[in-house]
Amino acid sequence: MAAIVSAKLLEWYDAHARDLPWRARPGAPAPDPYRVWLSEVMLQQTTVAAVKPYFDAFTTRWPTVEDLAAAPEEDVMAAWAGLGYYSRARNLVKAARAVAVLGAFPDTEEGLRELPGLGAYTAAAVAAIAFGRRAVVVDANVERVVARLFAIREPLPSARKAIRTCADTITPEERAGDFAQAMMDLGSSICTSRDPKCLLCPLANECKGRAEGDPSLLPAKAPKKAKPLRKGTAFWIENDGAVWLVTREGQGMLGGMRALPDDGWSARGDGDEVAPLIGEWEAAGVVRHTFTHFALELSVRRYAGAQPPIGTGEWWPLDRLEDAGLPTLFAKAARLATA
């Protein structure tokens, strides 16, 4: 079965591979490891459509890993704003600087795992796609394909060990990078989470999930737990065409990002409503945002007095607010405050 699956899938990929800015076409020389690594970091829990403009902006501004390594971290964080999961951006800078010291990307999974922020998946993907190493590359799309192909009915996340074992059995020695990308493409375009297009699938005859019934039921997932709700307050302080911004602590929620002052909701759960200035505040409304582990209701208050802020921060021109690189939560709050 393994040889049949890999042969059929690679034949399908040669005809149907997605044209993506970080990829090489089937049969072409391997892409630059920098572009593979950057795309894989950006694509973690993010869609291809969302990543494309960020990838283009990053590779235009920092075309090599050495350029990225030399960039100030605050510039990278600002350019990342809106992609979410900001620890990825901090690790991106750390890893780029580590590669610059090494002189090149390591070309094995083991070596890549030594770089900051590179977990098992990213290291395997870069090793296979950029360096042609045989590596078992399993993302959410591959999980779905393999769970259906082998009819693995154990629910996620406990099924991941069995899925990886089965994925290993069908990963070929040759063209491992193309095979990994073919599995990703199959999962994103054919073996989709809802309404899989089995009649178009090159692996339909080998698929045990299809043979046993409804493959859309796989992979099974454990019931989701309800996310807790936190509440907090952000403060909009405006003066002479500028707004007061702070830089959040380097570690923790949205660390290292420019933001509006707030009441500490991210550190303590619910905020304590302590305003940064004594004076009149008016309610501007509430923004809602969902993080990985909780949901947030953030009240936005505007300052109506003349007292200057106390503490570390900067006045940022309102007509250049988009250049501040506010994370999505605070960009929502800014839009609400200026509506």
Helix, strand, coil shares of the chain, percent, nearest 5, are 45, 15, 40
Q: DSSP labels for 268-294?
A: HSS-----SSSS-EEEEEEEEEE-SS-
**pLDDT on residue 267:** 53
List active site positions: 40
Helix or strand holding residue 298 (H, E): strand 295-303
**pLDDT on residue 26:** 92
What is the CA angle 28-34-40, rounded to 5?
90
Task: Fold for 229-337, please state it.
Answer: Nucleoside Triphosphate Pyrophosphohydrolase (3.90.79)
For residues 114 and 301, what is the distance between their CA atoms, to the nearest angstrom? 45
Listed by start position, the domains of the chain span: 2-217, 229-337
Name which of 314, 322, 326 is nearest 258 in CA terms: 326
Q: How confident is the model over 214-245, as pLDDT tens digits?
A: 999 999 988 888 889 999 999 999 988 999 99
Per CATH, the homologous superfamily of domain 2-217 is Hypothetical protein; domain 2 (1.10.340.30)
Dihedral of CA atoms 297, 251, 331, 72 in degrees, nearest 10, equals: 180
Q: What is the pLDDT along the chain (339 residues), one digit of tens a residue?
A: 789 999 999 999 999 999 999 999 998 899 999 999 999 999 998 999 999 999 999 999 999 999 999 999 989 999 999 998 888 999 999 999 999 999 999 999 999 999 999 999 999 999 999 999 999 999 999 999 999 999 999 999 999 999 999 999 999 999 999 999 999 999 999 999 999 999 999 999 999 999 998 999 999 988 888 889 999 999 999 988 999 999 988 777 888 889 999 988 875 555 555 677 777 889 999 999 998 889 999 999 999 776 778 788 999 999 999 999 999 999 999 999 998
Helix or strand holding residue 38 (H, E): helix 33-43
Fold equal for 2-217 and 229-337: no
327: which residues sit within 8 A by CB, 6+ positions away? Answer: 81, 82, 84, 86, 254, 257, 259
